[in-house]
Amino acid sequence: MRIVVAYKWTCDPEEATVRADGTVDWSRAKPGISTYDPVAIELARRLAEAAGAELIGVTAGPKGVGAPIASKAALGRGLDRVVIIEDDSLREAGRSELAAVLAEAIRHIGGVDLVITGDSSVDVAAKMVPTVLAGELGWPAVAEVSAVTGQAGALRVERSIPGGVQVLEISGPAVLAASADAAVPRVPGMKELLAAGKKPVEQLELAALEVPPQNAVMAVRGMSRPERKARKGQLIDTADPAAAGTELITALREAGAL
Amino acid sequence: MDFELTDEQELIREAVKEFAETEITPIAAELDRDHRFPIELIPKLAGLNLMGMPYPEKVGGAGADYVSYVIAIEEISRACASTGIIVSAHTSLATWPVYKFGTEAQKDRYLADMASGRRLGAFALTEPAAGTDAGAGTATAVLSGDEYILNGTKMFITNAPYAEVYVVFAKTDPAQGTRGISAFIVEKDTPGFSVGEAEHKLGIRGSSTPPIYLADCHIPRDALLGGDGNGFKVAMQTLDGGRIGVSAQALGIAQAALDAAVAYAKERVQFGKPIATLQAIQWMIADMATQVAAARLLVYRAASCVDKGRPYSTEGAMAKLFASETATRVADRAIQIHGGYGYTESYPVERNYRDAKITELYEGTSEAQRMVISRSYLR
């Protein structure tokens, strides 16, 4: 079985700061594998350990995604090899464009039985790439996946739904988006990390992939901080809980919140 | 001069930090409060190849460089200083002399298990009347036919209740002073070998340090490690490396205290604003951060000397001296920044403060480090 895990090398917004003019300062944010992608790798590893599979990481993005540390970080988590498309023109790429690039990389790899992605990326959190990628490949997409077992062409997928677990059987290749709490990713061992640099890394040229042009172009025109509403700062004396409750409800009604 | 870590060293730091935050931090306060050895962590540490990092893969280790190893000790100690010394004592004090001085038969018998973490090791040098003056030990080893018979008491033996392999020092020729000391490998459950009650300590309470007793303990002749009369050399060379591990532990404690102080200073509001806006606090943080950064440079430099095959005795002593005194100082300032809350168990800095002190004492006191350093400059 051949399993592709799509991962993202990016910065965590928690480490970025917002300037007074509303722009984001990423200079102190250290790039790493997007928070939820190790969950996808963990699901892939469990399936590979049970059924036998080659695990291939795929990523696309601007300059930096092809840095040795980025590949080692992914390979150190148990992938057998990685395929990278590093091109600065992808810096402002929309989710659809990125999905189209990933789809071409997966076609280049060939013979892929399953693609697993993280729930969403830590920086954009659009939750679009897995579904659009599936559409590009003509495969079913399943989100909120909590477990996957089985063999190529006979996959058994569990997904979390409100109140329970849905079980699906999929007879062909598919794109699965792992739910954020599907698994606790195992911590890479020291030997795995030290061996990561010896595993194969394939760089693909974006221009050579012949990604079909997008039908529409989406551009970010601006970002701004939300307006801060002045706080009322109204204090309610809670010495008498019943009276305090009445006063609170009155205040909320007057403010239009109730 | 390149001050950047390699990709592997950065990734190792991230991985150990991830493990420490998920597996060690949640139990660190409990280990300290209950004086409990984290027995459940040992197989998990071994599973990540953290129990024999600097040893070659072919002997069961991870094949990591020494800088990576000290980074791992630092990150483990940042979460829990007790766990940090458990790993360091096993790796640097117990496994190293077997790796460096063991016969092929001894390496075959012990090294793979120790370097992989399957069997925990301990180093037994200190005695009730022989601490810094290690040559004053009175434990004896008498050769009788094909056996040595060991008698004596060793104190403050890290990992003793849970170890299976002990490197024990005893005099084969008491009349020769330090030249009469020999090293031996003793296995747990050997008749005549027993472990006492663990000490109740100020800090590193999760690390168990009881005495061990040797009462007509018969061991095979081939348990001699490093040759007859070479024990003092084995001990001193082992401690040269061990103190780099302790310096990394001290660095981790200092970093933890600094992190806690920064976080608290940003949150605590007095006089209508966070205390982080007050110059008194700002200057304390600046001093603490600078000292921790300086300690880090010394610790990593000592480890780098090991990697480059350079002498590291003086560099290791400098690293331990500075990092240990930094840990004590920074933990003290961290409590000061926390004010009264820092004196309670509700905040981790009181544990950092109690844990820090031992780093100035074991594996060579700060005074012993000063002796090593001054000798290298004044000879």
Taking only the tens place, the pLDDT of each residue in A152-205 is: 999 999 998 999 999 999 998 999 999 999 999 999 999 999 999 999 999 999
Task: Say if residue B13's pLDDT is above 90.
Answer: yes
Q: Which residue of A has its CA nearest to B52?
A: A190
pLDDT at residue A112, rounded to an integer: 97
Q: Taking residues B37-48, what's their average pLDDT?
A: 98
Asked if residue B183 belongs to a domain, the reply is yes
Asked if the Cβ–Cβ distance from B63 to A191 is below 8 Å, we say yes
Three-state DSSP class for residue B39: coil
CATH number for the domain harbouring residue B324: 1.20.140.10
CB contact under 8 Å between A184 and B22, yes or no, is yes
Q: Which residues of B are catalytic?
A: 363
Of the residues A12, A34, A41, A193, the best mutation for testing chain B's interface (the one with the most B CB atoms within 10 Å of its CB) is: A193
Q: What is the dihedral of CA B170, B92, B186, B116, to 10 degrees?
A: -170
Q: Which pTM does this prediction carry?
A: 0.92
Per residue in B331-342, pLDDT tens?
A: 999 999 999 999
Mean pLDDT of chain A: 92
Compute the C-alpha angle B164/B168/B170, nearest 5°.
Answer: 155
Number of domains in chain B: 3
Determine the Cα–Cα distance for residues B248 and B295; give it in Å rounded to an integer. Answer: 9
Predicted confidence (pLDDT) per residue in A79-116, tens digit: 999 999 999 999 988 888 999 999 999 999 999 999 99
In a domain? residue B1: no
Q: Between chains, do B49 and A189 touch, taking CB under 8 Å as contact?
A: yes
Contacts of A75 in chain B (CB under 8 A): none
Planar angle of CA B128, B134, B136, nearest 5 degrees: 70
What are the structural domain ranges in chain A? 2-209, 228-258
> Nearest to residue B319, comparing CAs of B243, B233, B266, B209?
B243
- Nearest 10 degrees: CA dihedral of B211, B215, B218, B222? 40
Percent share of chain B, pLDDT over 70: 100
Two structure tokens written together for A201: 């890394």
User: Which of chain A's residues have a Cβ under 8 Å away from the Cβ of B53?
Assistant: 190
B164 located within any domain: yes
The answer to whether the Cβ–Cβ distance between A194 and B53 falls below 8 Å is no
| C-beta atoms of B15 and A76 within 8 A | yes
- Residue-range definition of the domain harbouring residue B202: 122-232
pLDDT at A22 over 80: no
Asked if the model's pLDDT at residue A215 lies above 80, the reply is no
pLDDT band at B88 (very low <50, low <70, confident <90, very high): very high
Distance CA B71, CA B16 (A): 9
Residue B1 confidence class, pLDDT cut points 50, 70, 90: confident
Tell which of A17, A69, A194 to mutate to test the B interface (max B CBs under 10 Å).
A194
Overall average pLDDT of the B360-373 stretch: 96
Q: Is A211 on the interface with B (CB under 8 A)?
A: no
Tell me which chain B residues have a C-beta less than 8 angstroms from the C-beta of A193.
8, 11-12, 15
pLDDT of res. B165: 98
Residue B141 lies in a domain: yes
Total beta-carbon pairs less than 8 A apart between chain A and chain B: 52
Per-residue b/e over A10-32, b at no fewer than 16 CB within 10 Å? bbeeeeeeeeeeeeeebeebebb
The domain made up of A2-209 is a member of CATH 3.30.460.40: no
| pLDDT of B134 above 80 | yes
Q: How confident is the model at residue A230 (pLDDT cuts 50, 70, 90)?
A: confident
| Integer Cα distance of B246 and B252 in angstroms | 10
The pLDDT of residue A227 is 79
Same domain, B222 and B265: no
**Tens-place pLDDT, residues B208-249:** 999 999 999 999 999 999 999 999 999 999 999 999 999 999
Res B201 pLDDT > 80: yes
Task: Please identify, among B211, B232, B253, the residue that sits at the C-terminal boundary of a domain.
Answer: B232
**Stretch B250-258: mean pLDDT:** 98
Identify whether the C-beta of residue A105 lies closer than 8 Å to the C-beta of residue A83. Answer: yes
Split at pLDDT 50, 70, 90, the class of A28 is confident
Residues of chain B with C-beta less than 8 angstroms from the C-beta of A197: 7-8
Could you tell me if residue B2 is inside a domain?
no
Residue in chain A nearest B21 by alpha carbon: A187
Contact B47 A73 (CB under 8 A): no
d(CA B144, CA A62): 73
Q: Does B352 lie in the same domain as B304?
A: yes
